[in-house]
Amino acid sequence: MGKTRITAEPGMPQIVIAREFAAPRELVFRAHTDPDLLAQWLGPRDLTMTVESYDVRDGGRWRYVHTDSDGNAYGFHGIFHGTPSPQVIVQTFEFEGAPGHVKLDTTTLEQRGATTLVRTVSAFQSVEDRDAMVAADMERGVRDSHERLEELLATLRRG
């Protein structure tokens, strides 16, 4: 399907990530909220993903760890705000290597015929925080994740 579009306008404390996936919205939602599916696509290909908790409800906490081949572990956690639905998922996001830095992610899922447009708006505490995330090669992780999600969705559709 479509390509991943990442928009980070100069001076804006925001990133917008959008991509259309060849799958119905319910399936895309499942891939975003079922921890067993999430572990199969979220993150760069060369890291191992372990979902420690994924409590998909208003106020529910999530945490996962990415581990590289040298055994270095990178923890992330956050909290769902509002009850996640196939229309919208709102959650905070913290990288445990940078305490005190929080972003707020709003992901909307929009069915478009046979495909689903997934769009995440990330709100940052500052433009500096936003720029730091861009500089940390966020793009590679996003593109890997989206490709892996596309592959997983194709498998699930066949399954």
Handedness of CA 33, 106, 130, 143 (dihedral sign): positive
Query: What length is written for the chain?
Result: 159
- Closer residue to its own copies (CB): 91 or 145: 91
Q: x/- string (CB under 8 A) for its own copies, residues 44-73? A: ---------------x-x------------
Q: Measuring CA to CA, how many Å separate 145 from each of 13, 25, 100? A: 23, 17, 25
| Binding status of residue 19 toward its own copies by CB under 8 A | no
Alpha-carbon span 34 to 101, nearest angstrom: 26
Q: Measuring CA to CA, how many Å separate 118 from each of 20, 40, 136? A: 6, 18, 23
Q: Which of 49, 51, 88, 154 binds its own copies (CB under 8 A)?
A: 88
Q: Measuring CA to CA, how many Å separate 32 from each of 85, 89, 150? A: 10, 9, 12
- Closer residue to its own copies (CB): 45 or 97: 97
Q: x/- string (CB under 8 A) for its own copies, residues 90-129? A: x-x-x----xx-xxx-x--------------x-xxxx---
The footprint of its own copies (CB under 8 A) covers 12-14, 59, 61, 79, 81-82, 88, 90, 92, 94, 99-100, 102-104, 106, 121, 123-126
